[in-house]
Structure 1
Amino acid sequence: MAALFVAGMPLAIAEGPMERGVEQWMERMHGAPCTRPYAGTFVVLSASGAMASSRIWQACDGQRQLERVEALSGTPRTVFRRNDEVRTFWPQSHVVRVDRREVSGLFPSVPVVTGAAISQFYAARLLGQERVAGRVADVVWFKPQDSLRFGYRFWSEKDTGLVVKLQTLDAEGRVLEQSAFSELDLNAPVRADQLSRQMDATAGYKVVAPSVVKTTAQDEGWTLRQSIAGFVPVSCHRRAVSAADEATGVLQCLYSDGLASVSLFLETFDARRHPAQPQVSSMGATQMIAQRVPPDAWLTAVGEVPLQTLRLFAGQLERTR
């Protein structure tokens, strides 16, 4: 059995590997969360050393996918998801925030995208098999075909396809961020109706549901002069910051290539709140730039993509009215 070294990491090549294309791997991993209910402890570690852990329960019931994520680090909170409906419980302040999120059950969560030709921008290669949280997993490398996106290594549980570990890699193959189950029970007695009842148990909490209006960038007077290779529009919403500004608020437009995603947040420029100079920050695989966009808008672009990709989005963004 041969060994392959990727980014300094030896991986055994499995005998008679099952070759799949990018779309086949993505389809298998997208469908995995509903293969069987599970519970586990999930840990995220960035290259800077920052670490976060959560306890996850997930189950499906027909077309409904239910998920409970309880933070084990940082501020206490529990996030429930029922398909695209999300409720975040903050026990210290007794507040529940209701929102919607167009994502899949992958870790990290990525948008469900139609129209993205993902195989044009990533090449899939099966590297071998390893054990994660006691489960045998296929190790798959998604190598980017250009410099506009990061690379990924997925550990896909052999029987179900569930992503049990994920690494995000920079252009040199260095690990920017790693997430994995440290413990996983694929026979957990988790029921979708039980999670649904827990999600609806808001008694004693103040329910906050910000106004969200579905729209498009074009309808809001924005366009990209030239599209960014591989990234297609997924959704666009106007979110009110407070009840007083429902007519303005923050516009969020999401773009994705089927794996990586970029969110553009646009709001009215306010010299009292926004700095005069552009801002750049990085945390693990997540990059952020914030800058003024003529004539009177403030843009915050966030995504798990190289910084140059965010700069391309910012440079192509144009006000049409």
Structure 2
Amino acid sequence: MAPTLLPLRSATSRWVFAMLAMGAAALAGAQQAATPVAGERGVNEWLMRMQEASRLRSYVGTFVVSSSTGSMSSARIWHAGDAGQQIERVEVLTGAPRSTFRRNDEVVTFLPEHRVVRTERREALGLFPNLLKSSDTSIPEFYGARRVGAERVAGFDADVVQLIPRDALRFGYRVWSEKRSGLVVKLQTLDAEGVVLEQAAFSELQLDAPLRADKLAQMMAPPHGWRVERSDVVKTSPAAEGWALRTAVAGFKPLSCYKRSAAAGAPAGSIHWIFSDGLASVSLFVEPFDRARHGQEGMLAAGATQTLTRRMDEWWLTVVGEVPPQTLKAFAQSLERRK
């Protein structure tokens, strides 16, 4: 059962909210750590180029997300950015109507069927078209990279790059990077046997579109008569909430931890703890156990996203990530209550 702390994102939004970059510090760090083989780009050099393209280029396009389970979703995206500001508009084309704007970490979602506008602060943790989730420069310890060919995607020539995991705790990726700019135009998540678990790709793309960030920002104002709902999430630390990991999961470093107040509808003590290895992310949702709401323990797979649920005495744990099941189990087994 999905945690009440924060809603699990749909496949579309999970890919969309990677448009933000992590800043010049991340680029500088990656550049220092890059150790390419003679004549080839190293993994950080490839990622740095892709990240810069996703930050600084304006583009309009339609992208489609599909998974091995047969699910498919699509959205239209408008993105404008410079060194100081990233802003995009995303119009979902499948399912219930929804329009989402993001300006740096500010997210505004319009739900026309309910005449509701939701506002919140949210970190960028998706994968498409910006792969990097943090300024972590240890990525080469856990992934290798090699160019495996060239193809055309949405009318653009692209290098095909394989990101190969060095252990069984993470998935691999096949990335199509537009030759001229470096922008990721297609991405596949692969399991250990090379089977495609999930794919995101532009079906149509206009690079260097004449977009103005201020015009997109003006569209973020709530329409007259719509109800505005504001998220009541505050930053905290696992130690302050009484939680810790006995043993770190190799490569995954804590990024942030949040809690939601009881006034916002979450049970007291609920937290959301986020980890990343620089590419993949894992979220730990912990809340008080409620027999009426929480179902059976188990593991669920939906494309590249794996979900583990488990009872821990008087607590209910949900672990979610685009990682193999054994990675989620490692987090669940290491989590402990300290107070």
On whether the aligned pair clears a TM of 0.5, the verdict is: yes
Post-superposition Cα deviations, 1:267-291, rounded to whole Å, max 9, x if no partner, equal 111111112x313211100000111
CA distance in 2, matches of 1:217, 1:243: 20
CA distance in 2, matches of 1:52, 1:111: 23
1:264 aligns with 2:284: yes
- The one-letter code of the counterpart of 1:86 is V
Q: 1:285 to 1:243 in 2, by over 3 A?
A: closer
CA distance in 1, matches of 2:208, 2:306: 37
Query: Which of the residues 305, 321, 325 maps onto 1:286?
Result: 305
Aligned to 2:161: 140
Aligned to 2:176: 155
CA distance in 2, matches of 1:256, 1:29: 18
CA distance in 2, matches of 1:128, 1:139: 5
Three-state SS of the structure 2 residue aligned to 1:127 is strand
Task: Tell which deviates more after alignment, 308-317 or 201-210.
Answer: 201-210
Query: Which of the residues 231, 235, 251 maps onto 1:210?
Result: 231
Aligned to 1:52: 73
Task: Tell which deviates more after alignment, 172-181 or 208-217.
Answer: 208-217
Q: What displacement does 1:36 show?
A: 2.3
Q: 1:252 to 1:77 in 2, by over 3 A?
A: same
Aligned to 2:63: 42
Q: 1:151 to 1:112 in 2, by over 3 A?
A: closer
Post-superposition Cα deviations, 1:21-62, rounded to whole Å, max 9, x if no partner, equal 111111111111233211000000101111100000000144
Structure 1 vs Structure 2 CA RMSD: 1.9
Q: 1:138 to 1:45 in 2, by over 3 A?
A: same
CA distance in 2, matches of 1:320, 1:111: 32
Q: 1:19 to 1:202 in 2, by over 3 A?
A: farther
**Does the Cα contact within 8 Å between 1:116 and 1:230 map onto a contact in 2?**
no
**Does the Cα contact within 8 Å between 2:173 and 2:190 map onto a contact in 1?**
yes
Task: Tell which deviates more after alignment, 227-236 or 197-206.
Answer: 197-206
Q: 1:221 to 1:273 in 2, by over 3 A?
A: same
Q: What displacement does 1:166 show?
A: 0.1
**Does the Cα contact within 8 Å between 1:152 and 1:166 map onto a contact in 2?**
yes
CA distance in 2, matches of 1:104, 1:163: 16
Three-state SS of the structure 2 residue aligned to 1:119 is helix
CA distance in 2, matches of 1:98, 1:116: 32
- The one-letter code of the counterpart of 1:144 is P
Aligned to 1:81: 102
- The one-letter code of the counterpart of 2:299 is V
**Does the Cα contact within 8 Å between 2:260 and 2:270 map onto a contact in 1?**
yes
Q: Which residues in structure 2 correspond to 1:1-321 (within 5 Å)?
A: 19-103=40-124, 106-107=127-128, 112-115=133-136, 117-240=138-261, 242-243=263-264, 248=268, 250-275=270-295, 277-294=296-313, 296-321=314-339
CA distance in 2, matches of 1:106, 1:27: 14
CA distance in 2, matches of 1:49, 1:102: 28
Q: What displacement does 1:105 show?
A: 7.7
**Does the Cα contact within 8 Å between 1:94 and 1:206 map onto a contact in 2?**
yes
- The one-letter code of the counterpart of 2:312 is V
Gaps in structure 1 of 5+ consecutive residues: 1-16
Q: 1:299 to 1:108 in 2, by over 3 A?
A: farther
- The one-letter code of the counterpart of 1:310 is L
Post-superposition Cα deviations, 1:105-163, rounded to whole Å, max 9, x if no partner, equal 85066663234511100000111211100011111100000000000011111111111
- The one-letter code of the counterpart of 1:123 is G
Detail structure 1 runs of 4+ shifted over 6 Å in the superposition. Answer: none
**Does the Cα contact within 8 Å between 2:117 and 2:222 map onto a contact in 1?**
no
**Does the Cα contact within 8 Å between 1:86 and 1:98 map onto a contact in 2?**
yes
Identical aligned residues as a percent: 55
Aligned length: 302
Three-state SS of the structure 1 residue aligned to 2:110 is strand
CA distance in 1, matches of 2:265, 2:146: 52
Query: So what's the TM-score if we normalise by structure 2?
Result: 0.85
